[in-house]
Amino acid sequence: MDHAIVRDWIDEAFFAPGARDADDEAARGARAHLAQCVECAAYDEQTRRVALKLDLARGPSPEVRTRVLAAARRTQRPDTARQQAARPAAGQPWWRTALAWRLAAAALVIAVVGVGAGAWWANASHSDSDADHLTDAVAMMSTLASQPGAVEVVLRDAAGNGSGMAVVSAASHQLAVFATHLPAAVAYHCYLERGGQRTWLGRMYVTPGVQFWAGDMDAGIDMQPGDRLVVAADADQPMVLSATL
């Protein structure tokens, strides 16, 4: 592998989280070259120092705080749980119970579906089962969120605005995706994107105000940290929402 190819790889890895640790031929070749080429190793260190300084100056992503608080909410403190077992009705915040969580989620569904429902039912080209699917999808989301190792991400548009969320469970190999503020007239799809390549996950269901998809991922799909979850109108179309897992 010559110097130019390795330096191209270094430049590309600068913009692609996880690329440096990839187990593909290019990454292996580049790592082997860097181990023995002083000039390219210096180029690599310079490039990584740029990334380090940018990241230090920026601080942690706001999503980390959201994830911490969401995980804390899902993971009731052991001693708090014991206290509540002893006093099931006393002092227990309503949002802490799984049942209340599901009821709240159901209320959300009802509210979301309820808003504009008249217009939707009048114009709906989709079957009324989409609303049923939404209820199921929200229930699945709450189930996935409680599983060990579940990952929750905020979906953002190109401008960085949060417009949805997704929960991925490696344990059950399932995924739930919810997007808001997307045009109802357009059918969107969910993709897993790695190295610029997209793998189709599913076509999103449409309800007023919410487009969503939830279910089992195909056995061949192997989500990894650094992969991107992408919502787009088609595989070749620009993403409208995305999140890095």
Partner 1 sequence: MGVRNSGRSDEELVAALVEGDEAALGELYDRHAESLFRAALLRLGDRGLAEEVLQDTYLALWNRAELFDGRQGSVIGWLSTIARNRAIDRLRSSARRPAPVALSGLVGTGADPASAADARDAILAAATPLAGVTAAPDPEREVDMAELRREVEQALADIPERERQVLMLAYYDQLSQSEIAARLAWPLGTVKTRTRRALARLRDTLGEQWRN
Residue ranges in contact with partner 1 by CB under 8 A = 11, 14-15, 17-18, 20-21, 31, 34, 43-61, 64-65, 67-69, 71-73, 75-80, 93, 96, 158, 160, 193, 196, 225-226, 228, 238-239, 242, 244
Distance of closest approach, residue 238 Cβ to partner 1, in angstroms: 4
Instruction: Rank residues 23 and 128 by Cβ distance to partner 1 and give the closer one.
Output: 23
Task: Determine contact, residues 164/155, Cβ cutoff 8 Å.
Answer: yes
Instruction: Rank residues 141 and 239 by Cβ distance to partner 1 and give the closer one.
Output: 239
Q: Point out which residues pair with 164 in neighbouring strands.
A: 155, 179
- Tokens of residue 1, six digits: 């592998």
Distance of closest approach, residue 189 Cβ to partner 1, in angstroms: 15
Instruction: Rank residues 133 and 228 by Cβ distance to partner 1 and give the closer one.
Output: 228
Distance of closest approach, residue 245 Cβ to partner 1, in angstroms: 10
What's the rounded Cα separation, in Å, for the pair 183 and 211? 9
Instruction: Rank residues 118 and 238 by Cβ distance to partner 1 and give the closer one.
Output: 238
Distance of closest approach, residue 197 Cβ to partner 1, in angstroms: 10
Distances (CA, A) of 182 to 4, 108, 163, 192, 235: 43, 18, 8, 19, 17
8 phi, psi to nearest 5 deg = -60, -45
The C-alpha R_g of the chain, in whole angstroms, comes to 22
Instruction: Rank residues 94 and 121 by Cβ distance to partner 1 and give the closer one.
Output: 94
Distance of closest approach, residue 18 Cβ to partner 1, in angstroms: 7
Burial class of residue 26, CB neighbours in 10 A (0-12, 13-18, 19+): middle
